[in-house]
């Protein structure tokens, strides 16, 4: 009899290894800087077709403009694009890079330019306000390899002290 939790862990390890063969495996590392307005973190990642495929698996969005080069070519985009919400999933890593245990309160993102499958995007987050109740307002921006802004937005987060955990 296999322990179901061990079985799940084993399957996820295999998935991680397979994913790493066809995508960029990266972990957003905690900054060592002190939390204060002006604090900036960056996270860069190449968004491969494996990322698009995994995002479709978890989200249930199998829109053809992400999967069919043939159909995507005939649209205004001219090629397969990455899900908007996949690009901005990198904001999750940016928030996690801030000091403490970071909890998301709200987000708003504007998708300005398409991100194509295979593009490398660079996310930048800047703490702009420290508000009562350990809340932070963080500005985020994503640029592509041609230095064009692809997404602009804001996140509100709550920060818990991780010292006693």
Written as one string, the DSSP assignment of 53-67 is: HHHHHHH----HHHH
Decide: is 149 part of the binding site for a second copy (CB under 8 A): no
Residue 92 or 126 with smaller CB distance to a second copy = 92
The 3-state secondary structure of 77-101 reads CCCCECCHHHHCCHHHHHHHCCCCE
Residue 58 or 146 with smaller CB distance to a second copy = 58
Task: Output the smallest distance, CB 38 to a second copy, in A.
Answer: 23
Which pair of structure tokens corresponds to residue 102?
Answer: 């970071």
Q: Which of residues 80-99 bind a second copy (CB under 8 A)?
A: 83-86, 88-93, 95-96
- Per-residue binder mask for a second copy (CB under 8 A), 1-20, x = binder: ------xx--xx-xxx-xx-
Q: Which of residues 106-135 bind a second copy (CB under 8 A)?
A: 106-111
Residue 39 or 97 with smaller CB distance to a second copy = 97
Decide: is 79 part of the binding site for a second copy (CB under 8 A): no
Please select the residue that binds a second copy; options are 39, 102, 115, 121, rule is CB under 8 A. 102
Residues making contact with a second copy (CB under 8 A): 7-8, 11-12, 14-16, 18-19, 21-23, 25-28, 43, 45, 49-51, 53-55, 57-65, 71, 74-76, 83-86, 88-93, 95-96, 101-111, 160, 164-165
């Amino acid at each position: 009899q296999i322990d179901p939790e061990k079985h799940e862990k084993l399957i996820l390890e295999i998935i991680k290894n397979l994913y790493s063969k066809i995508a960029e495996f990266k972990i957003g590392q905690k900054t060592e800087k002190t939390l204060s307005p002006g604090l900036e973190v960056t996270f860069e990642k190449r968004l491969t077709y494996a990322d698009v495929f995994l995002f479709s698996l978890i989200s249930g969005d199998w829109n053809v403009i992400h999967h069919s080069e043939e159909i995507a070519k005939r649209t205004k985009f001219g090629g397969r694009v990455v899900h908007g919400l996949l690009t901005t999933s990198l904001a999750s890593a940016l928030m996690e890079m801030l000091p403490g245990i970071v909890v998301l309160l709200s987000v708003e993102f504007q998708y300005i330019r398409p991100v194509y499958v295979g593009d490398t995007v660079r996310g930048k987050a800047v703490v702009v306000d420290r508000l009562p109740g350990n809340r932070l307002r963080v500005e985020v921006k994503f640029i592509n390899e041609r230095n064009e802004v692809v997404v602009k937005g804001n996140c509100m987060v709550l920060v818990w002290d991780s010292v006693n955990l």
